[in-house]
Chains A and B, each alone.
Chain A
Amino acid sequence: MLVVAGDLVGITLLSLLVSGTSTLLATLVAVPLGVTLGLREIGSQRLLRNILFTLYGLPPVLAGLLVFLLLRRDGPLGSLGLLFTPLGMILAQFVIVTPILLGITMSVVATVERRVKDTAFALGADRRQVSVTVLHEAAAGILTGVMVGFGRAISEVGAVFIVGGHIEGRTQVLTTSIITDIQAADYADAVGLGAVLLIIAAVVYSLLYRLQERTLP
């Protein structure tokens, strides 16, 4: 399937929208939760961390299948009509990215020096202010988590293919387009789309890296 310039812009924008939104939503959920859990020194944290580490390796096709089963017409969330829509694709990537970001945030926060908490406490911070201070100290590590999460989202193909359906003009993204180009033996188009993916990654990561540099001591 040949991708024309107009299509390419639409596909690229939808890729950014889906992966960017899913990463943003995962950040909003996983970072506060990860900070809260990372600050607690409880035995069950090890079990939770093991579960999250297992989910790091969650195959996107499996995540896509689970979300597909949820969203299909006779599934629990079928009435929402999200299957084969960008919103459904965002949900699928959210399921993939959230455990990664949650696990990294928990690990980073848990390894922030105990002295950070003690110092904030001794300076008169209340519990919430201690958490905010730890978050501030862990910002560089958490941003790494966001970068890893976005990388996972923008590069995955299985989940968005299953949940989005790769419908022309509606749910086509770069990765699914590469797959269909390969199936159609349009290798030049596939390589071109791959190059666009790499350029997106380079731009997004350079922006995140600059942000990360600001958080370093």
Chain B
Amino acid sequence: MTMSLDVEGLWKGFDQRRVLRGIDLHVAAGETFALVGPSGVGKTTLLRCVDFLLQPESGILRYGGREAATSPPERLALRRRIGFVTQNPLLFRGTVFYNVSFGLCVRGVEGPSLEDRTHAALAAVGLRNRTDARASDLSAGETQRVAFARAIVVRPSLLLLDEFTANLDPANVAQLESAVTTYHRESGATVLIVTHNLFQARRVASRAGFLLEGKIVETGDVGPFFASPRDERTRAFVQGEMPY
């Protein structure tokens, strides 16, 4: 069910700009890891590479200790073990049910199992009563919760969360963080969160890392990482002294 993630020497750029400059990162199976850092340092790019939405220029990605498969069927099988929630998720035209059940449908799940799992995922984010609502009628908070339900409905082994509560009110933030914690506890999945919110990183993650200028500066358990960071740049960032 769970799956470790290893990133080794990952490079990725756009045009002349190098965004990732040899990223090395280990996220153990079953842990919740928060990656923090200023805007534009490559956090989203890293997640998109991990989810195969971007092709890295060089470097190795290992999932569960194995290098990412290249054959289309194996790559598809691996992709289907990864869930991804973005900062501004796009919901498809149609109902909430259609959106949340999408991942199950493409995996060939149907009938009562499809309905039960979709309803359970919606219940996990407090939207059981919005099953038939049109996606376009949802609030920003509801949209984000539907996106989260859509990601966990397929029980991913690795869950990637990219600023998944940015711009939401405290109630929605609390509900989504609770849903993450519950999913992590029940599934044992590995969770990698990218966030600006240092308080959120402390609340949700067990380990954290600081990304700056395309490189991992420091990683560690959440307590020492925030209380007594080893690197001066990490200290400046977690104490709010780094302008960004």
Interface status of B128 (Cβ within 8 A of chain A): no
CB distance from A160 to the nearest CB of B (A): 37
Interface status of B106 (Cβ within 8 A of chain A): yes
Cβ–Cβ < 8 Å partners of B134 in chain A:
217
Contact with B106, one of A129, A136, A215, A217 (Cβ below 8 angstroms):
A129
Once A118-B53, A217-B134, A217-B135 are accepted as A-B contacts, the answer to whether A124 and B106 lie under 8 Å apart by CB is yes
The interface size of chain B toward A, counting residues with CB under 8 Å, comes to 23
**Which of these binds chain A: B84-92, B212-220, B229-237?**
B84-92
CB distance from B207 to the nearest CB of A (A): 24
B90 x A115 contact (CB < 8 A): yes
Compute the total of residue contacts between A and B using a CB distance below 8 Å.
Answer: 51
Interface status of A111 (Cβ within 8 A of chain B): no
Considering only residues 95-130 of chain A, those with a C-beta below 8 Å from chain B are: 113, 115-116, 118-126, 129
Interface status of A137 (Cβ within 8 A of chain B): yes
Considering only residues 189-205 of chain B, those with a C-beta below 8 Å from chain A are: none
Q: Which residue of A lies closest to B93 (CB)?
A: A217
Interface status of A85 (Cβ within 8 A of chain B): no
B51 x A126 contact (CB < 8 A): no
Interface status of B103 (Cβ within 8 A of chain A): yes
A119 x B90 contact (CB < 8 A): yes
For chain A, the bracket of interface size reads: 20 to 34
Q: Mark B65-89, 1 if CB is under 8 A from A, else 0.
A: 0000000000010011010100001
CA A217 to CA B143, docked complex, whole Å: 14
CA A125 to CA B154, docked complex, whole Å: 12
Cβ–Cβ < 8 Å partners of A115 in chain B:
90
CB distance from B208 to the nearest CB of A (A): 24
Q: Which of B51, B102, B134, B154 has the most CB of A within 10 A?
A: B102
Contact with A123, one of B94, B103, B135, B136 (Cβ below 8 angstroms):
B103
Cβ–Cβ < 8 Å partners of B12 in chain A:
none
Cβ–Cβ < 8 Å partners of A126 in chain B:
76, 106
Contact with B154, one of A121, A124, A133, A216 (Cβ below 8 angstroms):
A124
Cβ–Cβ < 8 Å partners of B94 in chain A:
136, 217
Cβ–Cβ < 8 Å partners of B82 in chain A:
122
Cβ–Cβ < 8 Å partners of B151 in chain A:
123
Interface status of B107 (Cβ within 8 A of chain A): yes
Once A123-B102, A124-B80, A124-B106 are accepted as A-B contacts, the answer to whether A116 and B90 lie under 8 Å apart by CB is yes
CB distance from B98 to the nearest CB of A (A): 9
Contact with A216, one of B53, B79, B93 (Cβ below 8 angstroms):
B93
Q: Mark A21-38, 1 if CB is under 8 A from B, else 0.
A: 000000000000000000
Once A122-B84, A124-B79, A124-B103 are accepted as A-B contacts, the answer to whether A137 and B92 lie under 8 Å apart by CB is yes
Interface status of B150 (Cβ within 8 A of chain A): yes
B51 x A122 contact (CB < 8 A): yes
CB distance from A38 to the nearest CB of B (A): 17
CB distance from B108 to the nearest CB of A (A): 10
B106 x A123 contact (CB < 8 A): yes
Cβ–Cβ < 8 Å partners of B76 in chain A:
124, 126
B106 x A122 contact (CB < 8 A): no
CA A165 to CA B115, docked complex, whole Å: 58
Q: Which of A126, A133, A215 has the most CB of B within 10 A?
A: A126
A133 x B92 contact (CB < 8 A): yes
B106 x A125 contact (CB < 8 A): yes
A137 x B93 contact (CB < 8 A): yes
B51 x A119 contact (CB < 8 A): no
CA A123 to CA B92, docked complex, whole Å: 12
Q: Which residue of B lies closest to A113 (CB)?
A: B90
CB distance from A134 to the nearest CB of B (A): 10
Considering only residues 11-61 of chain B, those with a C-beta below 8 Å from chain A are: 51-53
CA A125 to CA B89, docked complex, whole Å: 16
Cβ–Cβ < 8 Å partners of B79 in chain A:
121-122, 124
A122 x B93 contact (CB < 8 A): no
B92 x A116 contact (CB < 8 A): yes
Q: Which of A119, A121, A217 has the most CB of B within 10 A?
A: A119
Given contact pairs A122-B79, A125-B102, A137-B93, a sample of 8 additional A-B residue pairs in the complex whose CB atoms are under 8 Å apart: A115-B90, A119-B89, A123-B102, A124-B103, A124-B107, A126-B106, A133-B92, A217-B93
Q: List 10 A-B contacts (CB under 8 A).
A: A116-B90, A116-B92, A118-B53, A120-B102, A122-B51, A123-B102, A123-B103, A125-B106, A216-B93, A217-B134
